[in-house]
Chain A
Amino acid sequence: NAGVTQTPKFRILKIGQSMTLQCTQDMNHNYMYWYRQDPGMGLKLIYYSVGAGITDKGEVPNGYNVSRSTTEDFPLRLELAAPSQTSVYFCASRDRGGNTEAFFGQGTRLTVV
């Protein structure tokens, strides 16, 4: 199994451009998450989803949008990129239940110039 796959691994955007970070998982997990991690910092939750068609905001949702049309995919959309969105983005998934661990992708390193 591939687990959680994120694409692209690296991207440079110009201010004002838009892009979609892709995340797909093959473990049939209900819950999926998007985090950002700034240098030397912990993970901040951007958005999460508890199942197809259901999404909700996390701690830092401004400037981002998500959709969850299938169980497998949870893309993160950046509209009008800003330098403050320069970060490493991680997608994660976990099975239903409060005590199940999350599995992470390898991250997307995004630079906005």
Chain B
Amino acid sequence: EDQVTQSPEALRLQEGESSSLNCSYTVSGLRGLFWYRQDPGKGPEFLFTLYSAGEEKEKERLKATLTKKESFLHITAPKPEDSATYLCAVTGNQFYFGTGTSLTVIP
């Protein structure tokens, strides 16, 4: 059965304190792993797509990496505006989401 698990459920960081979020998956025939950001009361907003093990993508303070079993979203020197819930998803025809990591960055 396809599964996506994210950890931790919640993370509080001081501004400037770097950390990583984890997304582990068991999917037969992974075709893509996606990271999204969701702000309260809004729909998820696309961040990255990763296709193959070893791939990395970067955007501002965020860097996503992928292995055969998991993906990491590294946040370098976060700012309060990075506070949000970060979701990962994997796909074939269906589009499965993990439960998300709620990130709070304290000034």
**Nearest chain B CB to A57's CB is how many angstroms away?**
10
Is A106 on the interface with B (CB-CB < 8 A)? yes
* Cα separation A40 to B92 with both chains bound (whole Å): 26
B-contacting 9-mer, from A60-68, A77-85, A92-100: A92-100
Given contacts A43-B87, A98-B32, A99-B32, contact A107 B42 (CB under 8 A): yes
Interface size on B, residues (CB 8 A): 25
- B31/A99 in contact, CB under 8 A: yes
Distance (whole angstroms) from the CB of A102 to the closest CB of chain B: 6
Decide if A99 touches B51 in the complex (CB within 8 Å). Answer: yes
| A48 / chain B contacts, CB cutoff of 8 Å | 93-95
Chain B positions within 8 Å of A, measured between CB atoms, are 6, 31-32, 34, 41-46, 49, 51, 87, 89, 91-100, 102
Q: Could you tell me which A residues sit within 8 Å of B by CB distance?
A: 4, 31, 33, 35, 40-45, 48, 50, 56, 58, 90, 92, 94, 97-107
